[in-house]
Structure 1
Amino acid sequence: MRFFLLPISTRRTLLYCQKVQVLPTNKQTLVDKAAVRAAQLWSGWEQKESGWQKKVVLYGNSLLKRIPFEEWGLKSVPPLSTRRRAEEVLGKDKNYLIYPETLIPTTKAVNVLQTLGTEREALHRTRLMWCCVGMPISAPFALVPVIPNLPFFYLLYRAWSHWRALAGGKHIQFLCDKNLLSLTPSPVLGSIYTPLHPGPLTSKEQIADTDKASKSTAGNSKESVEERMLLSQENGRQLVKALEIPELEVELERAIWQVETAMQRKQEEKSKPPDTEKPK
């Protein structure tokens, strides 16, 4: 497998796992087969010109676009099966960590991957639990004729999505702990990112915009650097073309859109005048 670290902004990085070898159908798990079947069904609905299936697809794609790109990245990492674990320990299945060394120094690459694999673990566990709680509640909608139980299937999909994200994170943690990653700085990525940023991302630039980070830098706000976009939709497409990974395009497009939207919303909130309490 090949793990890519692709900075979207000075604070957010997209993780993408490219599977070099695809398992034959007879070696796929029931979960994998069900996922393939669901994707084929969804694709069939997308091709319809009208009807409730088409409306479901349009609304569903809008929801899918809003699922955090970090979750999609973790889902691209396959679960760690017993067979895969043995092959990776024995060195039969090579894993490469690919990154732009101009932004992410080799000494920090594994730490970045490990952070991406573990920072959302608690969130996915909590939301997986609530999806499981909600599925029995939505089950009575199955009594509605003709139209399938969409709330139930949506919760089922989200539960599967959170489970896959957790499984992907555990796989990353295993590879990092066992030192089973081959560090591979990419000259191609370096040539793309170098004009976008003068050098490696500093710790000041990567300070997350969270309450925790704010407390750690209280009284020294100058040390936090404003977040800045690195990739646009245009140079994102150039990156995909240079890497020759067509399936990466939708992942990058989604991630860039989400980060741009979040930064724009944050800027709008900053520009709003403070609320002033009317005198009594």
Structure 2
Amino acid sequence: MRLFALPLTRARPGHSALVYYLAHFPPPKLPQKPETWASRLVKSAAHKAADTWDRWGKAPASNWKYKVHSFGVNAQARLEFEELALKAIHPSWGPPIPSGGKGAKELESSNGARTIQIPLIHPTSFGPIVKRPPLKDLEAYANFRAPKHQRLFWLYAIASPFTLPFTLIPIIPNIPFFFCVWRAWSNYRAFKAATYLSDLVASKAVIGAPSAQLEAIYSDSISRLRQSNMHNSEPSMVLDKTAITLLIEAFMLPPEISHELDRAIEQTALRTAKTDPTPEKKR
């Protein structure tokens, strides 16, 4: 398992730096087991739901199916990149955390060596950019996101039963119910991932891994952003889209990560472009 701390913006007075925390690990090689009827049923339902969703996207623009599909696509696009990054973390794929959560002792073997070492790869200039050490920022990030997603999970979970009266409307599915269930499940996954990261840091399983190769990518990115900046001030952004391709190639990351990093950069640009941006709650 590898963790990447990728600054997107500089820390400014009253504004924390935005950092994309990427977790990468290969899917576990599980032994092949006979497929049960329950797994076949779930797989069949998932395929049917995906096919239905695709058909709705191909319906006429005036049809309610197309409008629902467009709403779903737009809702997905508006999700915070932090939530999407957390949802991509599968705690079951990573190293197990000993019972005790944040009170767990440092993971050590009998000879005192750490049994688990997860590198947190970051540019060497992370500290000057973010104004906080990488491990401290990861800890603050996880501790901020976990309760936020836990609150949202309960909000949507509690709200979902109140949408049941919409089932009385003929023909049209109960869209509010499915939306609440989807948002509850999404926030639950983000909450579990943030808790997992917090426990990894508390167990001292994560170690800082400054990378000169990543620093070179950031240095070139900042140079490009300075050249394209119309003002004389230092640009807030530190990572551009050109750097994403170099990052993926340099660290042999899956190509699909490019889409998520593109989304993160676009959202970050919108946040920093506001005349009086509302900073993320101080971590």
- TM-score with structure 2 length normalisation? 0.69
Residues 115/130 of structure 1: CA separation in 2 closer, same or farther (3 Å cut)? same
- Answer yes or no: is 1:142 the counterpart of 2:154: no
Aligned to 1:275: none
Distance in 2 (alpha carbons) for counterparts of 1:36 and 1:185: 45
Deviation at 1:75, TM superposition (A): 1.8
Contact in 2 for aligned 1:80/1:170 (Cα 8 Å): no
Aligned to 1:19: 25
- Answer yes or no: is 1:229 the counterpart of 2:237: yes
Q: Indicate which of 75, 78, 82 corresponds to 2:87.
A: 75
Residues 130/268 of structure 1: CA separation in 2 closer, same or farther (3 Å cut)? closer
Deviation at 1:151, TM superposition (A): 1.1
Contact in 2 for aligned 1:125/1:162 (Cα 8 Å): yes
Aligned to 1:133: 158
Aligned to 1:201: none
Percent identity for Structure 1 against Structure 2 = 26
Contact in 2 for aligned 1:192/1:239 (Cα 8 Å): yes
Superposition RMSD on alpha carbons, in Å? Answer: 3.8
Aligned to 2:125: 102
Distance in 1 (alpha carbons) for counterparts of 2:184 and 2:258: 25
Per-residue CA deviations over 1:114-151 (Å, capped at 9, x if unaligned) read 11211123322222221122101112223334433221
Contact in 2 for aligned 1:124/1:162 (Cα 8 Å): yes
Residues 239/121 of structure 1: CA separation in 2 closer, same or farther (3 Å cut)? same
Instruction: For structure 1, list consecutive stretches of 5 or more residues without a partner in the other structure.
Output: 199-224, 270-280
Of residues 63-72 and 48-57 in structure 1, the stretch that sits farther from structure 2 once superposed is 48-57
Aligned to 1:249: 258
Distance in 1 (alpha carbons) for counterparts of 2:178 and 2:49: 13
AA matched with 2:246 = Q
Contact in 2 for aligned 1:16/1:73 (Cα 8 Å): yes
- TM-score with structure 1 length normalisation? 0.70
Count of residue pairs the alignment pairs up: 238
AA matched with 1:13 = V
AA matched with 2:126 = L
Distance in 1 (alpha carbons) for counterparts of 2:152 and 2:21: 21
Of residues 14-23 and 42-51 in structure 1, the stretch that sits farther from structure 2 once superposed is 42-51
Distance in 2 (alpha carbons) for counterparts of 1:96 and 1:184: 6
Residues 141/23 of structure 1: CA separation in 2 closer, same or farther (3 Å cut)? farther
Contact in 1 for aligned 2:221/2:243 (Cα 8 Å): no
AA matched with 2:72 = G
AA matched with 1:117 = A
Per-residue CA deviations over 1:40-65 (Å, capped at 9, x if unaligned) read 84476347532555443332121111
